[in-house]
């Protein structure tokens, strides 16, 4: 990359100062030639002092101001001697010639070269004008000191003023002011040099042999200055390394590592450019940033030729090129093409792998270059930088993993909670913060049937569909398991419900995995701020309640309402009370008769658990069964109902009224491998024939899409127990699925039976269930028979058994016995017949 044309133009503007200086030099020299006698002195002494001026310029102390280097040398010492010993024009000639030789050796750009030459001529001629205007020095006393001080001071101030002017033109006013602030050390150096020159003059007047002493002092000073300069460089390097390490450590936590790293390295190496390159890695994009002297911030480009970077990565070693660094000719050719004078490029390593490069280009100042000693410094910095960058990326990765789900790459519950907390702090008029919870239905069945890998694919696909379908302002995350969260600002709760329904429809599209097509649905809960909560924890709790309520109606969308929370709290409070109720026998068993529809013969009863809470009153079975499932008391509750049913079945058999008993089972009971053994023990204990016991399992429990309940069902069937599918028709199964299950009976759900008299669709469903069940050899029981019209319709389609309020509500045992006495025709009972219900007009 070449230097910018604007930079070259500003450098060329140095002629605005160089031209007037050259003109002043010509004018001043003309005046000196006309007014001085003699104007030119002896050539041997002039050449000797010229050589001394060249030698005094060699040990230079460089002060860098932005991109300009200011050289501080001992040139005032031979200048004082020349002013004292030579005529004016000889002094100008000697000083200007010495400056010309030094500038040729340094190979400066033309603008700087001619500025320095013109400045030397102008400042020296001005100093001689001051010297000529003052009285001629007499001896080497204080008067002579004052005259030489005035001349040398004029030379120093003129030089400083010209340098400030040219830097202000080239680099701007601020750079000139910075140089003015660094002027005191320069003036002090000039004063010291003046004093040293005066000492030499005094000594030489006493004896010419003093020149040997000063020559020895000059050599010693040169050696000491070099050693001291090297010591200062090492000290400064160590201090800068310490500051760099400290800055890296402090910036690692706030994400400013790269900015601090590049800027500090550029300052440490005194380079025009420092570049950091990191290739793309994982979710991290490629990094190419450069800190340039004099420009704030970082640039997204690099001065280093791309060939050098590629070579360093391929060779996995440092590339150093420049006038003092050497290097391969082919690579150095790349420097000349890109106008780069020198470069050090160090690979960043992590173990044996190269993770990037650290590059510095062009030592500040046209006369300055990188030296071999700079290479180990940058390599040490690069080693520390590589560790810091790897640690920074590791921390970033850990922070990302802490707030994102590993499977779906979505924000997790913690991240959603944090974002939700920020959203609820800002109350926007006319808006609500909506929180939507999507619960994926049937994921457990997918995991059990196809494996967890298939379940993970389903979750990833749901995540992708949610991310693609949700508005851009929404935050989509995974709450955990099969739950996903979406939060955003909307106009109202109604808008949140509408969005939830739309997103649910997008998720419902078929999912194809290899040769398998799945139909995945979700239950959605919705809660909004501020109506349903003022903090994230409350909103998350209530949207979870809404999603749980939505599960009861497959594929529904449920907005939170206070009734859901009160029911949940009520269930939580019932957990401890249920255990006490089971211990003290407060859970009672009610019985609902099952009769033949054709002749109304009593064939059995269904055993139903009922709980009258001393405080809450009658507790719904759905509530305390759910409590039992979640508190580990389900097995005990089931055993209580089984024992009560079998005990009364034995009593009825002994009274010559044999009746079967039916007991409802929770789907979770079928996962208990010890349950068939319990049934066997209870049948033996109460001496009840197995065929008198019917176990009813809901359709969702027995037909869950897996083979998990089949082993338990087969063991129960082998015991001789009858098995019934309860609430048939409410799930997604078909009668064909029943063919692979060891069941004996189907119970048609009450919602279809009660609608038969008014809805042709319900009538058709019941008719189909009865017809196909009979073809499969299954008995059919109709639930919810509450009218004579429904009874007649069931008789017409051939349904055999029914139960419902038309015959009796569920009754406790004492009232059931009274009901028997009131409903059964005594004359119709024989030892071989079932009780027949008396027809009540």
Identify the band that residue 212 occupies on the pLDDT scale cut at 50, 70 and 90.
confident
CA–CA separation, 191 and 179 (whole Å): 18
The whole-number pLDDT of residue 71 equals 47
CA–CA separation, 558 and 525 (whole Å): 5
Higher pLDDT, 528 or 60: 528
Which of 47-51, 203-207, 326-330 has the largest mean confidence? Answer: 47-51
Asked if pLDDT for residue 525 goes beyond 80, the answer is yes
Higher pLDDT, 576 or 124: 124
E strand or H helix that includes residue 694: strand 693-698
The whole-number pLDDT of residue 213 equals 72
- Look at residues 712, 689, 703 and name the one whose alpha carbon lies nearest to residue 733: 703
Q: Do residues 813 and 648 lie in contact, with contact meaning Cβ atoms separated by under 8 Å?
A: yes
266-275, 696-705, 711-720: the lowest-pLDDT one: 696-705
CA–CA separation, 589 and 582 (whole Å): 12
Instruction: Say what percent of the chain tops pLDDT 90.
Output: 19
User: What backbone torsions phi and psi does residue 744 show, to the nearest 5 degrees?
Assistant: -115, -15
The whole-number pLDDT of residue 210 equals 67
The whole-number pLDDT of residue 648 equals 92
Asked if pLDDT for residue 705 goes beyond 80, the answer is no
The whole-number average pLDDT for the span 728-733 is 61
159-173, 559-573, 653-667, 742-756: the lowest-pLDDT one: 559-573
The whole-number average pLDDT for the span 777-805 is 91
Mean pLDDT of the chain: 81
Q: At what angle do helices 634-654 and 562-583 cross, to 10 degrees?
A: 60
The whole-number pLDDT of residue 355 equals 87
Identify the band that residue 692 occupies on the pLDDT scale cut at 50, 70 and 90.
very high
User: What backbone torsions phi and psi does residue 451 show, to the nearest 5 degrees?
Assistant: 100, 160
Q: Do residues 697 and 670 lie in contact, with contact meaning Cβ atoms separated by under 8 Å?
A: yes
E strand or H helix that includes residue 476: strand 475-480
E strand or H helix that includes residue 349: strand 343-350
The whole-number average pLDDT for the span 210-216 is 71
The whole-number pLDDT of residue 63 equals 46
The whole-number pLDDT of residue 604 equals 92
Identify the band that residue 707 occupies on the pLDDT scale cut at 50, 70 and 90.
low
- Look at residues 345, 348, 323, 325 and name the one whose alpha carbon lies nearest to residue 336: 323
Contacts of 479 (CB under 8 A, 6+ apart): 412, 413, 416, 437, 485
Q: Following DSSP, what letter does each residue of 405-431 receive, concatenated?
A: -TTT--BBHHHHHHHHHHHHHS--TT-
Contacts of 708 (CB under 8 A, 6+ apart): 448, 670, 671
The whole-number pLDDT of residue 114 equals 86
CA–CA separation, 685 and 650 (whole Å): 10
492-496, 612-616, 700-704, 764-768: the lowest-pLDDT one: 700-704
User: Whose structure tokens read 């079928």?
Assistant: 670
Identify any residues that bridge with 617 across adjacent strands, giving them in sequence order.
613
E strand or H helix that includes residue 693: strand 693-698
> Mind spelling out the 3-state secondary structure of 25-50?
HHHHHHHHHHHCCCCCCCHHHHHHHH
The whole-number pLDDT of residue 622 equals 82
Q: Do residues 245 and 383 lie in contact, with contact meaning Cβ atoms separated by under 8 Å?
A: no
Q: Are strands 660-665 and 693-698 parallel, antiparallel or unpaired?
A: parallel
CA distances from 122 to 74, 163, 193, 339, 429 (A): 19, 13, 20, 33, 75
- How buried is residue 464: exposed, middle or buried, by Cβ count under 10 Å (0-12/13-18/19+)? middle
Which of 267-276, 326-335, 614-623 has the largest mean confidence? Answer: 267-276
Asked if pLDDT for residue 838 goes beyond 70, the answer is no
The whole-number pLDDT of residue 566 equals 59
pLDDT in tens, 401-429: 888 888 888 999 999 999 999 888 887 78
- Sequence-ordered strand ranges (E) for 530-682: 557-559, 587-596, 602-613, 617-619, 660-665
Is pTM, for the whole model, over 0.75? no
Identify the band that residue 731 occupies on the pLDDT scale cut at 50, 70 and 90.
low
């Amino acid at each position: 990359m070449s230097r910018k044309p604007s930079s070259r133009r500003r450098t060329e503007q140095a002629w605005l100062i160089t031209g007037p200086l050259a003109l002043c030099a010509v004018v001043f020299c003309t005046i000196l030639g006309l007014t001085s006698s003699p104007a030119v002195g002896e050539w041997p002494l002039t050449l000797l002092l010229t050589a001394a001026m060249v030698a005094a310029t060699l040990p230079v102390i460089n002060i860098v101001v932005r991109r300009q280097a200011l050289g501080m040398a001992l040139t005032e010492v031979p200048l004082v001697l020349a002013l004292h010993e030579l005529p004016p024009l000889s002094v100008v000639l000697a000083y200007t010639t010495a400056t010309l030789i030094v500038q040729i050796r340094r190979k400066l750009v033309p603008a700087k070269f001619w500025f320095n030459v013109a400045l030397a001529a102008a400042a020296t001629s001005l100093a001689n004008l001051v010297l000529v205007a003052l009285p001629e020095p007499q001896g080497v006393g204080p008067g002579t000191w004052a005259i030489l001080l005035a001349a040398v001071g004029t030379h120093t101030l003129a030089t400083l003023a010209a340098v400030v002017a040219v830097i202000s033109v080239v680099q701007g006013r601020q750079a000139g002011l910075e140089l003015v602030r660094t002027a005191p050390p320069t003036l002090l150096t000039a004063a010291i040099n003046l004093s040293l020159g005066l000492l030499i003059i005094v000594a030489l007047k006493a004896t010419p042999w003093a020149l040997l002493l000063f020559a020895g002092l000059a050599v010693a000073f040169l050696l000491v200055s070099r050693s001291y300069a090297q010591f200062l460089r090492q000290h400064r390097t160590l201090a800068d390394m310490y500051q760099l390490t400290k800055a890296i450590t402090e910036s690692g936590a706030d994400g400013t590592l790269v900015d601090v790293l590049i800027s500090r390295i550029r300052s440490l190496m005194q380079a025009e450019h420092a570049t950091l390159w990191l290739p793309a890695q994982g979710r991290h994009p490629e990094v190419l940033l450069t800190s340039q002297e004099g420009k704030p911030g970082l640039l997204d480009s690099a001065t280093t030729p791309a060939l050098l970077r590629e070579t360093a990565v391929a060779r996995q070693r440092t590339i150093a090129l420049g006038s003092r660094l050497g290097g391969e000719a082919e690579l150095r050719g790349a420097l000349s093409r890109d106008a780069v004078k020198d470069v050090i490029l160090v690979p960043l390593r992590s173990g044996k792998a190269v993770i990037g490069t650290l590059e510095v280009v062009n030592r500040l100042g046209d006369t300055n270059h990188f030296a071999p000693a700079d290479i180990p410094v940058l390599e040490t910095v690069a080693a520390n930088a590589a560790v810091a960058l790897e640690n920074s990326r590791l921390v970033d990765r850990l922070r990302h993993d802490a707030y994102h789900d590993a499977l779906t790459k979505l924000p997790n519950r913690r991240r959603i909670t944090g974002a939700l907390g920020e959203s609820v702090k800002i109350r926007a008029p006319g808006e609500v913060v909506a929180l939507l919870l999507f619960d994926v239905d049937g994921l457990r069945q997918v995991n059990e049937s196809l494996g967890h890998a298939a379940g993970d694919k389903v979750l990833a696909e749901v995540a992708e569909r949610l991310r693609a379908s949700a508005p851009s302002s929404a935050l989509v995350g995974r709450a955990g398991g099969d739950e996903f969260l979406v939060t955003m600002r909307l106009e109202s709760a109604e808008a949140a419900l509408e969005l939830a329904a739309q997103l649910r429809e997008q998720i419902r599209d078929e999912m194809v995995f290899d040769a398998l097509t799945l139909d995945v649905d979700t239950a959605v809960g919705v809660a909004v701020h501020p109506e349903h909560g003022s903090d994230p924890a409350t909103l998350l709790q209530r949207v979870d309640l809404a999603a749980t309520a939505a599960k009861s109606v497959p594929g529904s969308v449920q907005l939170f309402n206070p009734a859901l929370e009160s029911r949940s709290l009520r269930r939580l409070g019932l957990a401890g009370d249920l255990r006490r109720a089971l211990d003290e026998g407060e859970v009672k068993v009610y019985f609902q008769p099952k009769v033949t529809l054709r002749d109304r013969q009593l064939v059995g009863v269904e055993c139903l658990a009922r709980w009258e809470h001393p405080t809450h009153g009658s507790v719904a079975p759905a509530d305390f069964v759910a409590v039992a499932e979640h508190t580990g008391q389900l097995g005990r509750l089931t055993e209580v109902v089984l024992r009560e049913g079998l005990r009364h079945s034995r009593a009825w058999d002994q009274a010559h009224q044999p009746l079967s008993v039916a007991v409802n089972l929770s789907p979770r009971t079928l996962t208990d491998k010890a349950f068939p053994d319990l049934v066997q023990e209870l049948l033996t204990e109460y001496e009840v024939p197995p065929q008198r016991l019917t176990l009813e399992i809901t359709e969702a429990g027995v037909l869950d899409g897996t083979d998990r309940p089949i082993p338990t069902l087969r063991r129960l069937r082998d015991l001789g127990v009858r098995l019934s599918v309860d609430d048939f028709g409410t799930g997604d199964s078909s009668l064909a699925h029943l063919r692979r299950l060891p069941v004996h009976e189907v119970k048609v759900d009450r919602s279809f039976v009660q609608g038969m008299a008014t809805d042709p669709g319900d009538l058709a469903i019941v008719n189909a269930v009865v017809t196909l069940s009979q073809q499969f050899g299954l008995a059919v029981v109709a639930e919810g028979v509450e009218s004579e019209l429904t009874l007649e319709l069931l008789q017409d389609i051939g349904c055999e058994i029914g139960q419902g309020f038309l015959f009796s509500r569920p009754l406790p045992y004492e009232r059931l016995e009274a009901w028997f006495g009131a409903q059964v025709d005594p004359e119709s009972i024989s030892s071989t017949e079932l009780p027949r219900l008396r027809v009540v007009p």
